[in-house]
Each structure stands twice: as C-alpha cells, then as structure tokens.
Amino acid sequence: MPKKPELSITRPQSRLRKRYVFALVLIPLIAVCISLGVLYWPKIAHKLHSLRVASSVDPSRGEATFPQIDTINLHPTRQKIISLAKTEFEAQSAGTKFSQGVREAWCADFVSWVMQQANAPLKNPHTGGWRIPGTFTLREYYEAAGRFKPVTSGYQPRPGDVAIYRGSPVFGDHTNIVLKNNDGVLTTVGGNEMNRIRVFTNHDKRYDGLLGYGVLAE
C-alpha cells in the first residue's frame, strides 16, 4: 500500500518568516518617513509659499538715485546705517559680500552686514555670529531682545529701522532698512531685491504682509 505524501510545513514557515522580516524592516522605515514628513513639511510648505509669492513681487528697479535724508538729528548709529546703505547702493556689490561667501537669498545678510559695520551687530540665536540669514530668525532675534515693533502697535518707523515682511505683494518674504517715512509712505533700501540693492518708495502704501520693525537699542 503506497504511503500517503507527508505535508511539508517548511515552505509555509519560510514564507511566514520572510514576511515577518519584511514587516520588521518596512514598519520602522514608514515611521521614519512619517516623522521626517511631520518635521520638514512646515519648511517645505513655507518654501512653496515663498516661491508662489516671489512670482508676483514688484519687479521694478526702484529709485535711480539714493534719496536725500536729513540725518542731523539722528542717533550716530542711525547716521552710520544710512551712510553705509548709500555706499552699498552705489557700489551694487554681489550678495556674497554680505553672506560671508555663501550663495543664498541675501536680504537678511545685507541687513546683518550693515548693522555689523555700523557697530550695532545682531546676534544669531543659533550660531552666536553677527549674520542672521533668514527673516524668521531675524524676527525672533528682535522679539527676544524686546526690540520688535509689530505693525499693529502704531509705531512709526525711523531711518535705520529694519522692516520685516511675510507674503508681501511688493517684497515677498523679505527684510530691508527704512530710509524715510513720509506720512506713511516708506522708502526702503534692501539687498536681493531683483537680485540687486534697491531703493524702493512704496507710493501706493501696499503694506499687506508687513509684520513690523526691528529697532535699534538706543
């Protein structure tokens, strides 16, 4: 009488073991991907927002000449800021001059460099250095120092103050230096505006996206 074939349990067990090992590898990988997504999504979303805003900012070259500014009654540091801004506007140096050679969006680098040269250096809360390369960190610095004036505070900016924007129809996510405040019409000078140092007078008072001002410690 022929023997009945024996049922093999080796192959199903082998398949089960492979699936178990695969799950052990896949589940942590999925967890890591989710964690990275949660961590970096705000930055990705902000970058996408910045690119969308950047496509609609004011493309004009701004003022052809640096404005005449009465600095006699200004604090010496403010006078120095205005003088430095004028020199750099006329020189139109490359952005890497202000970013310590780093190729990046350099509006906050320009502000940082001017302040450092005017003996009113900023302090990056992450590195301790004088250069703050981002507008978010720049605002955090001024807030921590008690020197940030929200646009809703009613503060009237003065020459040498630092304006900070997010999603501005004129500047996008940006920062620049106030030169004049003529009854609410601000004239500013900023780096990396149309890839140059630009003087801009906001005749139409388009201030959507203006967050506020970083002021000097006088």
Q: How confident is the model at residue 190 (pLDDT cuts 50, 70, 90)?
A: very high
Distant-in-sequence, close-in-space partners of 31: CB < 8 Å, separation ≥ 6? none
15 or 4, greater pLDDT: 15
Within its chain, how far is the Cα of 25 from the centroid?
A: 38
Say if residue 114's pLDDT is above 90.
Answer: yes
3-state secondary structure of 164: strand
pTM as predicted: 0.76
pLDDT digits (tens, 9 = 90+) for 126-142: 999 999 999 999 999 99
pLDDT of residue 36: 64
**Gap between the Cα atoms of 81 and 75, Å rounded:** 10
pLDDT of residue 165: 98
pLDDT of residue 123: 97
- Which secondary-structure segment (H or E) carries 175? strand 172-182
Residues 69, 181 contacting (CB under 8 angstroms): no
Query: Which residue in 87, 77, 78 sits closest to 199, CA to CA?
Result: 87
Q: Other C-beta atoms within 10 Å of 48: how many?
A: 10
Looking at residue 6, the DSSP 8-state letter turns out to be P
18 or 191, greater pLDDT: 191
Say if residue 51's pLDDT is above 60.
Answer: no
Say if residue 60's pLDDT is above 90.
Answer: no
**Gap between the Cα atoms of 101 and 97, Å rounded:** 6
pLDDT of residue 66: 98
Read off the pLDDT of each residue in 139-153 and give the average, rounded to a whole number.
Answer: 97
**Gap between the Cα atoms of 53 and 209, Å rounded:** 11
Read off the pLDDT of each residue in 24-30 and give the average, rounded to a whole number.
Answer: 73
pLDDT of residue 55: 46
Read off the pLDDT of each residue in 90-100 and give the average, rounded to a whole number.
Answer: 98
Read off the pLDDT of each residue in 77-83 and give the average, rounded to a whole number.
Answer: 98
**Gap between the Cα atoms of 137 and 141, Å rounded:** 6
Read off the pLDDT of each residue in 106-126 and give the average, rounded to a whole number.
Answer: 98
pLDDT of residue 41: 55
Please name each of the domains of the chain with its CATH number: 76-214 (3.90.1720.10)
**Gap between the Cα atoms of 155 and 161, Å rounded:** 11
Pairing of strands 162-168, 148-150: unpaired
Residues 63, 200 contacting (CB under 8 angstroms): yes
pLDDT of residue 34: 79
Residues 61, 194 contacting (CB under 8 angstroms): yes
Say if residue 3's pLDDT is above 60.
Answer: no
**Percent residues over pLDDT 70 in the chain:** 77
Residue 134 half-sphere exposure, CB side, CA atoms within 13 Å? 11
pLDDT of residue 44: 56
